């Protein structure tokens, strides 16, 4: 799991965190009944040879990826159940009092599922903006249009978002980031392998066809598509790699607006701020100054006549899923290239996904208390408490940590805030107006509401009640700047969390996920923030060196993990998540041992509690994945592919070898001198 990131256009970034969802098949047969479904196992593969296959082989063989999906696994199953409940709730939501949040989100969904009205309007909703873009005649006009598109939630060239001040996490400031690419990441533009070349050719064809759908003549559309690729490639080349961005210091450059103005003389920041309604802005974090210098150069070097073409594409790209079928299908053609999905989801499923993307907190409010009983919430909170206590015990005992760092680590853990289920306070949607007419207009209204609300928080105290993820999402996160973990109701469902199941399975599944999130605060990135969420180094140099050496051994283990022909796991990119998996499993296992202490440890389904713990972890990550999606994941995702998330950390754990009686020579047991030891 990770800090929620803006979804890129084509790919479901964080595994299962994406709002894209839901098949019709019920794939994990009756998953809510047994804690472990023995049919999911592959008894022909020894547990000590390949535990992922042993635990999930039966499921993998019986559950191919449905046509509309890039991958399919237990997270999809959970999201599917939530989405079906949301569909029913959204369908009836327009009956809530006029002007209520429920009524507004219901209206949004209703205008989305009304296919005939959407079809009839075709590309008409874009005409006014396209006309404005055609009317650009100078730099000032160009920059005015960029600001206007940003206000509507688009992100040509860059994005401006509000987040805590790295030096004072209680105050929100503006952060400027590179943006404005149509492909998932910079390396889609810069890599020279055949698959990457092919994807770029498909992308140009996709831009071209989309412009033709808008009525642009063939020859001109082809020329325009190449202009777009050229501009985006230059933006990609000027931006940092995902690995470099993982270091908080590398993306923290606090400066005055006047400094930024001096750095980028061709972009009029004061006019931009005026247009965004933030003319009082005086200082901000420019995450990648070199990128903005490059943009400044591009503003001069790219002919003025080419900029409207790029902006039009940014508009169309974002609009594709919300327009008539021809546009939606065009987007699906490109999705197929990038992530492998072979057909569109049914309309209602797409509409539920759009609702969660654009009005996630409103949908969450509607869904609140739908599935999470008071008893389940209490049990989840107990689990969090026990796993946290195990992490505390672990920090108290670590032999490689000096006393000064240990004291600060414990203070940070004690200050950590846990949020489970739903936010205590719901977002105020009073100023959001929804229309009964045009779905696309409602999309723009919802997006504009979000950007205006976001920039209005600049300079204000950070609202600690706010959630970054909608509560309906199947995911969890640690927010370093708030020193908090958030476990939404969406993930508190079987098989990840099952109140009918024994402790062993729950500690292995949701317990280890909670341990994963808690440990992020002490992982390679998270440890660079203090108890208050300020970016500050509180480790002694010796402790930093010892931690880094231990972390490096994990990076090396994953670096040598093959994924698919020509692709290996990127140990640096996935380091933080792999450390969190390892730590989460270690502390959740200790919490289970603590819970079992003094109790009779009976076998169930033929497995000991210790074995069931590890089976619980493995079944969290069972999946099937298309090669395109796997490739995209390795290139862009901070999480390793699922089989490595299971086998990687377990091979470091003596408790695993002991539970299944593995021998030192078995593949699931790392040699003593290669074994990682951290927590």
Task: Record the tokens describing residue 100, joined without a space.
Answer: 């209520």
Q: How far is the CB of 273 from Zn ion (least distance, A)?
A: 34
CB 281, CB 273: distance < 8 Å: yes
Q: How far is the CB of 419 from Zn ion (least distance, A)?
A: 16
Q: How far is the CB of 613 from Zn ion (least distance, A)?
A: 20
Q: How far is the CB of 303 from Zn ion (least distance, A)?
A: 44
Would strands 567-568 and 477-479 be described as parallel, antiparallel, or unpaired?
Answer: unpaired
The CA R_g of the chain, rounded to the nearest whole Å, is 25
* Backbone φ, ψ for residue 252 (5° rounding): -120, 110
Query: If we measure between CA atoms, which residue out of 72, 63, 61 comes closest to residue 642?
Result: 72
Q: How long a stretch of residues is the chain?
A: 679
Q: How far is the CB of 87 from Zn ion (least distance, A)?
A: 29
**Residue closer to Zn ion (CB basis): 221 or 646:** 646
Is residue 22 part of the contact set for Zn ion (CB under 5 A)? no
**Residue closer to Zn ion (CB basis): 1 or 462:** 1
**Residue closer to Zn ion (CB basis): 143 or 637:** 637
**Residue closer to Zn ion (CB basis): 81 or 639:** 639
Q: How far is the CB of 525 from Zn ion (least distance, A)?
A: 10
**Residue closer to Zn ion (CB basis): 123 or 380:** 380
CA distance linking residue 81 with residue 75, whole number of Å: 10
Q: How far is the CB of 15 from Zn ion (least distance, A)?
A: 10
| Element spanning 358, H or E | helix 347-358
- CB hemisphere CA count around 144 (13 angstroms): 11
Q: How far is the CB of 518 from Zn ion (least distance, A)?
A: 10
Q: Cα 516 vs. chain centroid, distance in angstroms?
A: 15
**Residue closer to Zn ion (CB basis): 349 or 639:** 639
Q: Build a one-symbol-per-residue string for 579-618: x at contacts with Zn ion by CB under 5 A, - elsewhere.
A: -x--------------------------------------
Q: Cα 187 vs. chain centroid, distance in angstroms?
A: 19
| Angle, helices 289-301/218-237, rounded to nearest 10 degrees | 150
| Element spanning 567, H or E | strand 567-568
Of 2-10, 25-33, 199-207, 457-465, which part binds Zn ion (CB under 5 A)?
A: 2-10
* Cα torsion angle, 365, 371, 377, 378, sign: positive
CB atoms within 10 A of CB 399: 6
**Residue closer to Zn ion (CB basis): 182 or 515:** 515
**Residue closer to Zn ion (CB basis): 232 or 581:** 581
First-to-last C-alpha distance (Å) of the chain: 19
CB 452, CB 343: distance < 8 Å: no
Give 450-456's long-range contacts (Cβ < 8 A, gap of 24+): 450/153, 450/358, 451/150, 451/151, 451/152, 451/153, 452/151, 452/277, 454/161, 454/162, 455/160, 455/162, 455/174, 455/276, 455/277, 455/278, 456/277
Total of residues contacting Zn ion (CB under 5 A): 4
CA distance linking residue 569 with residue 575, whole number of Å: 10
Q: How far is the CB of 386 from Zn ion (least distance, A)?
A: 20
Q: How far is the CB of 645 from Zn ion (least distance, A)?
A: 10
**Omega before 495 cis (within 30°)?**
yes
* DSSP E strand boundaries for 360-508: 417-421, 477-479, 484-488
**Residue closer to Zn ion (CB basis): 15 or 432:** 15
**What are the angstrom distances between the C-alpha of 384 and each of 380, 448, 476, 513?**
6, 37, 13, 10
* Backbone φ, ψ for residue 169 (5° rounding): -70, -5
Q: How far is the CB of 1 from Zn ion (least distance, A)?
A: 4
CA distance linking residue 495 with residue 32, whole number of Å: 7
Q: How far is the CB of 665 from Zn ion (least distance, A)?
A: 32
**Residue closer to Zn ion (CB basis): 176 or 580:** 580
List strands edge to edge, sheet with 477-479: 417-421, 484-488, 477-479
Which residue among 2, 178, 571, 641 contacts Zn ion (CB under 5 A)?
2
Q: How far is the CB of 281 from Zn ion (least distance, A)?
A: 32
Tokens 């240990």 sit on residue: 406
Q: How far is the CB of 475 from Zn ion (least distance, A)?
A: 9
Query: If we measure between CA atoms, which residue out of 498, 478, 494 comes closest to residue 486?
Result: 478
* Backbone φ, ψ for residue 528 (5° rounding): -85, 5
- CB hemisphere CA count around 645 (13 angstroms): 26
Q: How far is the CB of 656 from Zn ion (least distance, A)?
A: 21
**Residue closer to Zn ion (CB basis): 294 or 638:** 638
**Residue closer to Zn ion (CB basis): 330 or 577:** 577
**Residue closer to Zn ion (CB basis): 507 or 582:** 582
Is residue 147 part of the contact set for Zn ion (CB under 5 A)? no
The string of DSSP codes covering 114-158 is -HHHHHHHTTGGGHHHHHHHHT--SHHHHHHHHHHHHHTT--SSE
**Residue closer to Zn ion (CB basis): 15 or 352:** 15
**Residue closer to Zn ion (CB basis): 1 or 136:** 1
CA distance linking residue 551 with residue 569, whole number of Å: 16
**Residue closer to Zn ion (CB basis): 517 or 628:** 517
Residues sharing a CB contact under 8 Å with residue 407, sequence separation 6 or more, in sequence order: none
**Residue closer to Zn ion (CB basis): 1 or 235:** 1
CA distance linking residue 154 with residue 148, whole number of Å: 9
Tokens 């049914």 sit on residue: 346
Give 136-139's long-range contacts (Cβ < 8 A, gap of 24+): 136/304, 136/307, 136/308, 136/311, 137/304, 138/304, 139/266, 139/299, 139/304
Q: Which residue is nearest to Zn ion (CB)?
A: 1
Q: How far is the CB of 579 from Zn ion (least distance, A)?
A: 9
Is residue 1 part of the contact set for Zn ion (CB under 5 A)? yes
Residues sharing a CB contact under 8 Å with residue 611, sequence separation 6 or more, in sequence order: 659, 660
556-585 binders of Zn ion (CB under 5 A): 577, 580
Q: How far is the CB of 558 from Zn ion (least distance, A)?
A: 14
Residues that bind Zn ion (CB under 5 A): 1-2, 577, 580
């Amino acid at each position: 799991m990770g800090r929620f990131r803006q979804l890129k256009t084509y790919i479901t970034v964080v595994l299962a965190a994406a709002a894209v969802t839901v098949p019709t098949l019920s794939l994990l047969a009756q998953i809510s009944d047994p804690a472990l479904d023995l049919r999911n196992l592959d008894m022909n593969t020894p547990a000590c040879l390949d535990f992922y296959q042993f635990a999930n082989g039966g499921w993998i063989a019986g559950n191919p990826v449905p046509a509309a999906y890039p991958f399919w696994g237990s997270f999809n199953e959970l999201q599917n159940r939530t989405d079906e409940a949301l569909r029913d709730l959204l369908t009836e939501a327009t009956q809530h009092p006029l002007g209520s949040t429920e009524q507004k989100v219901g209206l949004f969904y209703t205008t989305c599922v009304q296919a005939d009205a959407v079809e009839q309007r075709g590309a008409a909703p874009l005409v006014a903006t396209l006309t404005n873009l055609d009317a650009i005649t100078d730099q000032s006009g160009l920059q005015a249009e960029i600001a206007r598109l940003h206000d509507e939630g688009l992100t040509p060239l860059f994005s401006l978002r509000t987040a805590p001040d790295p030096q004072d996490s209680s105050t929100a400031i503006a952060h400027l980031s590179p943006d404005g690419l149509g492909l998932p990441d910079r390396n889609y533009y810069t890599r020279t392998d055949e698959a990457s070349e092919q994807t770029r050719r498909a992308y140009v064809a996709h831009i071209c066809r989309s412009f033709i759908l808008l009525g642009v003549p063939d020859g001109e559309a082809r020329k325009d598509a190449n202009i777009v690729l050229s501009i985006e490639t230059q933006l990609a080349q000027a931006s940092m790699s995902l690995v470099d961005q993982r270091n908080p210091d590398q993306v923290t450059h606090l400066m005055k607006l006047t400094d930024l103005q001096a750095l980028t003389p061709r972009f009029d920041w004061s006019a931009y701020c005026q247009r965004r309604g933030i003319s009082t802005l005086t200082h901000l974090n420019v995450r990648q100054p070199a990128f903005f210098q490059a943009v400044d150069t591009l503003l001069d070097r790219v002919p003025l006549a080419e900029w409207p073409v790029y902006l039009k594409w940014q508009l169309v790209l974002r609009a594709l899923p919300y327009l008539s079928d021809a546009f939606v299908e065009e987007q699906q053609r490109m999705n197929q290239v990038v992530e492998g999905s072979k057909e569109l989801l049914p309309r209602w499923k797409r509409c539920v996904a759009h609702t969660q993307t654009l009005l996630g907190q409103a949908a969450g409010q509607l869904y609140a208390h739908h599935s999470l009983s008071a008893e389940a919430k209490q049990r989840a909170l107990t689990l969090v408490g026990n796993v946290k206590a195990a992490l505390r015990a672990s920090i108290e005992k670590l032999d490689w940590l000096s006393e000064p760092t240990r004291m600060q680590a414990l203070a940070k853990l004690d200050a950590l805030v846990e949020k489970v289920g739903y936010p205590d306070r719901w977002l105020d949607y009073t100023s959001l107006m929804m229309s009964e007419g045009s779905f696309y207009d409602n999309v723009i209204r919802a997006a504009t509401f979000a950007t205006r609300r976001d920039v209005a928080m600049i300079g204000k105290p950070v609202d600690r009640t706010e959630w970054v993820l909608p509560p309906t999402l199947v995911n969890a996160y640690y927010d370093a700047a708030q020193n908090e973990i958030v476990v939404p109701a969406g993930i508190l469902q079987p098989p990840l969390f099952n109140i009918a199941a024994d402790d062993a399975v729950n500690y292995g599944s949701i317990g280890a996920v909670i341990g994963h999130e808690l440990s992020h605060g002490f992982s390679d990135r998270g440890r660079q923030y203090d108890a208050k969420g300020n970016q500050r180094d509180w480790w002694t140099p010796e402790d930093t060196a010892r931690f880094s050496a231990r972390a490096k051994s994990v990076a090396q283990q994953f670096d040598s993990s093959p994924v698919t022909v020509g692709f290996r796991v990127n140990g640096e990119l996935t380091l933080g998540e792999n450390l969190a998996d390892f730590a989460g499993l270690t502390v959740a296992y200790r919490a289970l041992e603590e819970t079992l202490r003094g109790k009779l440890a009976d076998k169930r389904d033929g497995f000991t509690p210790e074995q069931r713990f590890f089976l619980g972890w493995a079944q969290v990550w069972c999946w099937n994945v298309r090669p395109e999606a796997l490739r995209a994941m390795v290139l862009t995702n901070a999480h390793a592919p699922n089989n490595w998330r299971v086998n990687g950390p377990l091979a470091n754990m003596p408790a695993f070898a002991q539970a299944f009686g593995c021998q030192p020579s078995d593949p699931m047991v790392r040699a003593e001198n290669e074994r990682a030891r951290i927590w």
